[in-house]
Amino acid sequence: MDRIAYFITPHGFGHAARACAVMQALRQLRPSLQLHIYTRVPRWFFRDSLGEDGWQYHETMTDIGLVQASPMSEDLPATLSALDAFLPFSDTLVERLAAQVAAQGCELIVCDIAPLGIAVARRAGIPSALVENFTWDWIYQGYFDAEPRLAAHADYLAALFGLADVRIQTEPVCVRRPAQLHTPPVSRPPRRNGEAVRALLGIPTGQPLVLISFGGIPQNDFPALDRFHTRDDHCFLMPGASSTTIQRNGNVIRLPHHSGYYHPDLIHAADLLVGKLGASTVGEAWQAGIAYSYIPRPGFRESAVLAEFVERELGAQMMEESDFLAGTWLDELPRRLANRRGPRQGVAPAEQIAGLLLGLE
C-alpha cells in the first residue's frame, strides 16, 4: 500500500491528534507511504506532528459534529442548521472527492469519525476504515429531547457508519461494537522530556506546573485569572489562551494554539492537567500518567464514559465548571496534585492500528 487518504472531523483537535498518532506509526512502518489529509483542522497542526514531507493537505469540510458555543457548551440550533445544509451528502461532492482520491492513487480511506470518507470510499471502489470511540449518531441521541429533528440526521449517519469495511475502536469506547481491533487510548508520543520543556518555558525546577487545556476550542476568558497570581508557588500554562503570541505575566503563561510547543510534550512536563474531557486529552493524560482534574460536560454523552475511565485509570478528580470559573479549586491544589502516577511503558496502540491498516493491502 503506497497511498492512504485520511478524512478527519474538524470538531476540535482531538480527533486530528489521534489521526496524527496513527499516521506517524504508519510512516514508521512504511516510510515511503504518501498520505492525503482531508479536513478543516489547520494545516499547521499536521505539520507540527508529521513534519513537511510525505503528506498533502486538502482543506475540505468533512464533518459537522457539534457547533460549539464555548469549549464547554454546544449550540444546538446552529448544529441543526449546519447539518441540514450538509446532509445528506450531495452526489456532486461525493463524486468529486472520489475522483480526486482515485487520481491520487489512494488505496484506502481512513476516517476518524468523519463519515464523508466512507461515502467517498464506496464511490471510489476502495476500502474504508473507521477509527472511533464514538460515532455522531450516538452523540446526537443524547439531544433528541431538546432537539428531536436531530433524529433524521442520526439515522442517516448510523447507516453510513455501518458501511465501513473495517472498524477500529480505541478506549475509552462509548458503545462497544464488533470491530477488527480494540486498543487502549491512542496518543502521540512526546518528543522532549519534561525538564527540557520546562527549561524552554523558563519554569524553575521543582515548581509545580498546572496545564489548563481545552483542546482545539479557544478559551480566552478566564474570570479567575487574577487568583492564579496569588499562587505564585505554582506555574499555570494555558495553551490556546492567547490569540497570536506567547504571553507571560508572572507565574501565568498563555500560548496561542500554534505556539511551537508540542502538546504531548506539555502534558508530560506538567504535574496537573485541568480541563474538559476529550478523547485525545484523555489519551495523552493516560499515557503520561498525569494528575488530572476534569471538568465534566453533563449534556455531552461521551463525557460520562470519559469520566469513568479517567477516574478508574488515573484517579482523576472532578471539578465543577463553576469552581473552575470562580477559581475556588486553587485552594485544593495539594490534593489535586497528589495523584500523579507516571508514564506508561510498552503500550503502542497507534502501531497496532497502523499494522492492521497496512495489512489490508
Per-residue model confidence (pLDDT) at position 221: 61
Residue range 3-186+349-358 in CATH 3.30.1370.60: no
Beta bridge partners of 181: 168
Give dist(CA 227, CA 208) in Å, integer. Answer: 16
Per-residue model confidence (pLDDT) at position 216: 54
Burial 287-311 (b: 16+ CB within 10 A, else e): bbbbbbbbbbbeebbbbebbbebbe
Q: Extract the runs of DSSP E, i.e. beta strands, from the chain.
A: 3-8, 34-39, 55-59, 68-70, 73-74, 109-112, 128-132, 166-170, 181-183, 209-213, 235-239, 247-249, 252-255, 272-276, 291-295, 317-318
Per-residue model confidence (pLDDT) at position 293: 94
Identical topology for domains 3-186+349-358 and 194-337: yes
| Assigned CATH for 194-337 | 3.40.50.2000
Q: Which three cell numbers stand for residue 132?
A: 472511533
Q: Taking the domains of the chain in order of start, what are their residue ranges?
A: 3-186+349-358, 194-337
Per-residue model confidence (pLDDT) at position 157: 98
pLDDT block averages, 10 residues each, the chain of length 361: 96 92 97 97 94 97 91 87 97 98 98 98 98 96 95 98 98 96 94 91 91 68 78 90 84 86 92 88 91 87 92 92 89 87 82 96 69
